[in-house]
Amino acid sequence: MTALVDRKHLMNSVEMAHFVSHGSFTLEAVVPDSMNQRAIEVLDEGIPGYPYGTPLDEAFPQGTFVRELLDLPPVAGALQSLVGPGPVIDHHAVHIRPPRGGEAQNMHGDAILDTRTDAFDVQLMYYPRDVTLEQGGTLSVPGTHLRKINQTGIGRYQNLAGQTRLVCPAGTVVFLHHGIWHGGRRNDSDEPRYMFKIRFNPTVRQLRLWNTDDIDDPAVLKELTARFGWTSANEGRLELVNRAKLWRTLTGDQLFDIDNYLTREQLRPQFVAPGATDVRLASNRSGAGWNL
Amino acid sequence: MTSTVEEAFSVRPIDPHLRQQLLILYLGTSALDSNVIGWTRYDGTGRSRPTMGDSDEPPYATGLDALIDGWRLIQMSQLMPHQPGHEYDVSYLPYEFVFERLVEVDA
């Protein structure tokens, strides 16, 4: 993990734009079956915790299962594309929801209201077994990650148009922006549901960390302007503005815009046109004093 | 003659057979006839327990459709001015409409 990942394994610009608009990036069935089989025992045993900010090498040295997972080229490539080389562990957790177990969580954002607009954490979610609809995989709402809310302040939002319930084959790894609205659902199946998550903090500026060879691909803008059911009306354009701001941050291109919103608000010409300089136009009697 | 607060508030209500069901709709704009983009239900009868992620399709297409179906609107969001310097910031969903209906608990 400490070595730079081969460029061919990094995310491309279209995939990064997808992450910016959706707040997630999925690698379906990327972990081989042999590892998925071993994962159950590892997760059942539990994985010890570490202080915030522990380097990867220290928390998960070579030879550990988690390091093997993080060294899979597509996983390592996505992680480096999102948070850069040498990220540190914020925290991690094993979630095992027993058969017929648990209650649906209220919708929430993890941790606490996060004020950052020029950086983000990612949460890696690893599912070593198939996740079916009945198992109550995580519900998340694409595109909500840029909205500033505090924890379960959104707890009374039960359903939003465009929400997705995770259904995936064994060995799937999902990367989520820290701000995405989500909640765990009840497991209505006879099988336990396994998930291992790690939250990563970046240690470098999140600037052009992915393979930008396709930066001019029209599909980039198409991804950045993706619409979801809940953005179909008045909230949609504000979302585009915030995605454009994040894309400026990630690319360093301060002129990037979507539908001219950020450009237009800068249009405040200061040059006074010839013929508009008669200062007498600014004076009038009422300005001189009461009843004059 | 006065009674304690506990006594006063334990008096049998005039409608003990009724319970409130709540429907909260989040609409696309402040107009009641705009599209439903989010929905939530609470059942005061205790007969059902709506939860997060219990449906992908909204119960009504618009807020007005709920009104037409007999739901009574009891609150709608105020329109809040945008804070200077934060006009583009996004947060909680701004157009919340709370509806109720009263149903017989023994029905």
pLDDT 10s digits, A151-191: 999 999 999 999 999 999 999 999 999 999 999 888 889 99
Secondary structure, 3-state, A83-119: HCCCCEEEEEEEEEECCCCCCCCCCECCCCCCCCCCC
| pLDDT on residue A283 | 58
The rounded distance, in Å, linking the Cα atoms of A142 and A223 is 12
The verdict on a CB contact (< 8 Å) between B52 and A139 is: yes
pLDDT at A2 over 70: no
pLDDT at A239 over 60: yes
Mean pLDDT across A200-226: 98
The verdict on a CB contact (< 8 Å) between A161 and B36 is: yes
The verdict on a CB contact (< 8 Å) between A148 and B90 is: yes
A107 touches chain B (CB under 8 A): yes
More confident residue, A72 or A111: A72
pLDDT at A113 over 60: yes
| pLDDT on residue A87 | 96
The closest CB to that of A154, out of B24, B41, B92, belongs to B92
**Tokens 């988690």, located at residue:** A66
Indicate the residue type of B37: I
pLDDT at A284 over 80: no
The rounded distance, in Å, linking the Cα atoms of A274 and A232 is 45
pLDDT at A38 over 80: yes
| pLDDT on residue A274 | 79
Task: Enumerate the residues of chain B whose CB falls inside 8 A of the CB of residue A183.
Answer: 52-53
Handedness of CA B2, B6, B8, B11 (dihedral sign): negative
| pLDDT on residue B19 | 97
Domain-embedded: residue B97: yes
Domain-embedded: residue B74: yes
**pLDDT over 90 for what percent of chain A?**
84
pLDDT at B107 over 60: no
Mutate to test the interface with A, among B21, B52, B62 (most CBs of A within 10 A): B52
Give the residue from A167, A174, A226, A219 showing the smallest Cα distance to A196.
Answer: A174
Domain-embedded: residue B4: no
- Which residues neighbour A68 within 8 Å (Cβ) at sequence distance 6 or greater? A35
Smallest CA–CA distance, residue A48 to chain B, in Å, is 31
Task: Enumerate the residues of chain A whose CB falls inside 8 A of the CB of residue B41.
Answer: 158
| pLDDT on residue B75 | 98
| pLDDT on residue B12 | 94
Residue range B29-88, pLDDT digits in tens: 999 999 999 999 999 999 999 999 999 999 999 999 999 999 999 999 999 999 999 999
Position A276 confidence tier, pLDDT thresholds 50, 70, 90: confident
Whether A123 contacts A182, CB under 8 Å: no
| pLDDT on residue A210 | 98
Domain-embedded: residue B36: yes
Position A53 confidence tier, pLDDT thresholds 50, 70, 90: very high
The verdict on a CB contact (< 8 Å) between A157 and B38 is: yes
Q: How many domains does chain B have?
A: 1
| pLDDT on residue A273 | 84
The rounded distance, in Å, linking the Cα atoms of A150 and A108 is 8
Supply the DSSP symbol for B34.
Answer: S
Q: How confident is the prediction for chain A on average, in pLDDT? A: 93
CA-based nearest residue in chain A for residue B29: A234
| pLDDT on residue A44 | 95
| pLDDT on residue A265 | 93
Please tell me whether residue A17 adopts helix, strand or coil conformation.
Answer: helix
**pTM passes above 0.90:** yes
Task: Enumerate the residues of chain B whose CB falls inside 8 A of the CB of residue A159.
Answer: 38-40, 52-56, 58
A148 touches chain B (CB under 8 A): yes
Domain-embedded: residue B93: yes
The verdict on a CB contact (< 8 Å) between A234 and B29 is: yes
Q: In this structure, what token pair is assigned to residue B92?
A: 């909680």
Q: Using CB atoms and an 8 Å cut-off, which of residues 11-70 of chain B contact chain A?
A: 24, 26-29, 34-41, 50-56, 58
B102 touches chain A (CB under 8 A): no
In A98-171, where do the E strands start and end?
122-127, 139-140, 159-160, 164-165
pLDDT at A192 over 80: yes
Please tell me whether residue A75 adopts helix, strand or coil conformation.
Answer: helix
Question: What distance lies between CA A211 and its chain's CA centroid?
Answer: 18
The rounded distance, in Å, linking the Cα atoms of A72 and A35 is 11
Mean pLDDT across A52-80: 96
- What CATH class does A7-201 carry? mainly beta
Tell me which residue range forms the domain holding B96: 17-80+87-104
Q: In this structure, what token pair is assigned to residue A226?
A: 């993706």
Domain-embedded: residue B57: yes
